[in-house]
C-alpha cells in the first residue's frame, strides 16, 4: 500500500475558522492602506491582511513577541509569505491600527503591498554554509536600508523583487528576480592533496565537476584551469578543493528575471555587472549600483513594466546606455549551450 501523508502537517488543520468558511470563495481583494489588503468573500465577510517585513533570522524572543501580537489582534492566526514577510490575518477592522502601532514599536515595517519594493530573499550565507562567497544577510541588510522608503510606496512602475545568493548554487530566487546579487569566485580551486586524499571520495569529486575540469593525479586530483568555470561544486563535496580567495572573490549583479506569467512569460535574469568588490560591512559599490539600476528603471519604465519587461522594450543596448554600466566581453555568453540564444539578425534596436 502506498504510504501517504508523510510530509509536514496538513495546513488545513491550522486554518483560521473564517478562512475555512470561505476557502476558495474569495470575491475581491484590494489594498486599502500601505501594507493592508482587504479580501471580501462571496458571503460578504471581510478579512484584512497586515503585511510586515521581517528579518529572516529571528530569535525565539522575537518569535514569541510576534505570536503575542497574533494572539492579541488576530486570534493567533498569521502566515509567512515566500519573501519572508509576516502576514497577520485580522477579521476586525478596528484592530488594524493598534496592530500596526505595535509592529512599528517592534521595528517591523508595514508595507510591501502592490507596486512596491518587496522584502529581499537571501540565502543563509556564512550563518551555516561553507560554500557562500559573501555574507548574504549582511548585503541584504545594507540594501534594505538603502531602499527602505520604496517598501512603503505603491507607485513604482511594478513590483520590485530582489534576491541575494552567496554562490552560484543560488539558494533564493536570483534567476527569477528583478535584481539578483550573486557572490562569485574568479579563480579555479587550489588542490590541498592532504585533505583530498584523507577526506574525499575521488570518483564523487571528479563527477561533481560540470565541465570535467578535474582529473586524477596520483592519489589526489588536479584541475584543468581552462575548463574550470569557478562554480565551486567541487568544494561543496570536498573541502580540499580550496576555492575561497579574498583577493578575487566578488559580487555580481543580474537583472530582468521574473517567475510570474502575468503580462509576459517568466524570464531568467541576465548579467548586468560581472564584478563588484566584496566590501563588508556595507558593500557601498554594490548598494550604489543597485540603487542606480532601480532609479533608472523608476525614471523610464511604463506602468506595469517589471525590470525585464522594461529592458526588453527599450533594448539591452539602451539599458547599458541609460544606467551607465559599461558593456564588456564578460557580458557575452560563450558557453557551449548558449548558441541558440544568440542574436542572429542585424536588427539592433536603439
Q: Identify whether the C-beta of residue 109 lies closer than 8 Å to the C-beta of residue 52.
A: yes
Q: Identify whether the C-beta of residue 143 lies closer than 8 Å to the C-beta of residue 119.
A: no
Give the shortest CB-271-to-ligand SF4 separation in angstroms: 18
Binding of ligand SF4 by 214 (CB under 6 A): yes
Q: Using CB under 6 A, which of 232, 256, 257, 308 touches ligand SF4?
A: 232
Q: Using CB under 6 A, which of 18, 142, 196, 231 touches ligand SF4?
A: 231
Binding of ligand SF4 by 139 (CB under 6 A): no
Binding of ligand SF4 by 117 (CB under 6 A): no
Between CA 183 and CA 189, with CA 187 as vertex, the angle to 5 degrees is 100
d(CA 208, CA 223): 12
Give the shortest CB-333-to-ligand SF4 separation in angstroms: 16
Binding of ligand SF4 by 70 (CB under 6 A): no
Please report which helix (H) or strand (E) contains residue 90, including its range. strand 86-90
Q: Identify whether the C-beta of residue 83 lies closer than 8 Å to the C-beta of residue 55.
A: no
Which is nearer to ligand SF4, 145 or 201 (by Cβ)? Answer: 201
Tell which phi-psi region holds residue 52, choosing left (phi > 0), alpha (psi between -120 and 50) or beta. beta
Q: Using CB under 6 A, which of 230, 254, 310, 319 touches ligand SF4?
A: 230
d(CA 307, CA 259): 12
* Helix, coil or strand: residue 134: coil
Q: How far is CA 209 from CA 67, 188, 222, 245, in A?
A: 45, 12, 12, 19
Give the shortest CB-257-to-ligand SF4 separation in angstroms: 23
Binding of ligand SF4 by 34 (CB under 6 A): no
Binding of ligand SF4 by 183 (CB under 6 A): no
- Region from 152-160, 203-211, 282-290, 306-314 binding ligand SF4, contact rule CB under 6 A: 203-211
- Residues in contact with ligand SF4, total (CB under 6 A)? 17
Binding of ligand SF4 by 188 (CB under 6 A): yes
Binding of ligand SF4 by 160 (CB under 6 A): no
Which residue in the block uniquely carries the three cell numbers 512569460?
Answer: 265
Question: Do the strands 179-184 and 162-165 form a parallel or antiparallel pair, or are they unpaired?
Answer: parallel
d(CA 138, CA 123): 11
- Region from 75-83, 229-237, 317-325, 330-338 binding ligand SF4, contact rule CB under 6 A: 229-237
Which is nearer to ligand SF4, 84 or 192 (by Cβ)? Answer: 192
Q: Using CB under 6 A, which of 157, 180, 189, 257 touches ligand SF4?
A: 189
Q: Using CB under 6 A, which of 228, 238, 255, 272 touches ligand SF4?
A: 228
Q: Is 25 exposed, middle or buried (0-12, 13-18, 19+ CB in 10 A)?
A: exposed
Binding of ligand SF4 by 240 (CB under 6 A): no
Binders in 255-314 for ligand SF4, by CB under 6 A: none
Binding of ligand SF4 by 184 (CB under 6 A): no
From the list 251, 213, 210, 214, the residue with the least C-alpha distance to 233 is 210
- Given the rule CB under 6 A, which residues bind ligand SF4? 188-189, 208-209, 211, 213-214, 223, 228-234, 241, 243
Amino acid at each position: 500500500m502506498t504510504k501517504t501523508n508523510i510530509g509536514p502537517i496538513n495546513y488545513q488543520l491550522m486554518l483560521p475558522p473564517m478562512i475555512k468558511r470561505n476557502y476558495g470563495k474569495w470575491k475581491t481583494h484590494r489594498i486599502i492602506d500601505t501594507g493592508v489588503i482587504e479580501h471580501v468573500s462571496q458571503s460578504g465577510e471581510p478579512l484584512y491582511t497586515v503585511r510586515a517585513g521581517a528579518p529572516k533570522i529571528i530569535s525565539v524572543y522575537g518569535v514569541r513577541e510576534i505570536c503575542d501580537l497574533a494572539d492579541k489582534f488576530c486570534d493567533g492566526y498569521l502566515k509567512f509569505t515566500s519573501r519572508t514577510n509576516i502576514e497577520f490575518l485580522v477579521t476586525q477592522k478596528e484592530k488594524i491600527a493598534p496592530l500596526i502601532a505595535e509592529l512599528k514599536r517592534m521595528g517591523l515595517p508595514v508595507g510591501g503591498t502592490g507596486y512596491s519594493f518587496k522584502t529581499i530573499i537571501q540565502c543563509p550565507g556564512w550563518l551555516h554554509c561553507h560554500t557562500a562567497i559573501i555574507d548574504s544577510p549582511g548585503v541584504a541588510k545594507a540594501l534594505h536600508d538603502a531602499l527602505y522608503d520604496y517598501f512603503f510606496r505603491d507607485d513604482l512602475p511594478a513590483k520590485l523583487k530582489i534576491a541575494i545568493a552567496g554562490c552560484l548554487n543560488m539558494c533564493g530566487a536570483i534567476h527569477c528576480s528583478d535584481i539578483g546579487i550573486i557572490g562569485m569566485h574568479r579563480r579555479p580551486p587550489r588542490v590541498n592533496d592532504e585533505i583530498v586524499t584523507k577526506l574525499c571520495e575521488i570518483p564523487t569529486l571528479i563527477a561533481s565537476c560540470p565541465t570535467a575540469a578535474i582529473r586524477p593525479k596520483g592519489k589526489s586530483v588536479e584541475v584543468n584551469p581552462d575548463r574550470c568555470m569557478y562554480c565551486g561544486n567541487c568544494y561543496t563535496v570536498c573541502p580540499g578543493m580550496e576555492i575561497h580567495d579574498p583577493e578575487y572573490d566578488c559580487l555580481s549583479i543580474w537583472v530582468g528575471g521574473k517567475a510570474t506569467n502575468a503580462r509576459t512569460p517568466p524570464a531568467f535574469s541576465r548579467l548586468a555587472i560581472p564584478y563588484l568588490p566584496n566590501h563588508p560591512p556595507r558593500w557601498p559599490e554594490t548598494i550604489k549600483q543597485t540603487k542606480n539600476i532601480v532609479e533608472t528603471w523608476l525614471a523610464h519604465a511604463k506602468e506595469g513594466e517589471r525590470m525585464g519587461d522594461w529592458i526588453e522594450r527599450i533594448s539591452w543596448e539602451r539599458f547599458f546606455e541609460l544606467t551607465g554600466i559599461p558593456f564588456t566581453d564578460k557580458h557575452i555568453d560563450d558557453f557551449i549551450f548558449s548558441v541558440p540564444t544568440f542574436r542572429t539578425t542585424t536588427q539592433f534596436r536603439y
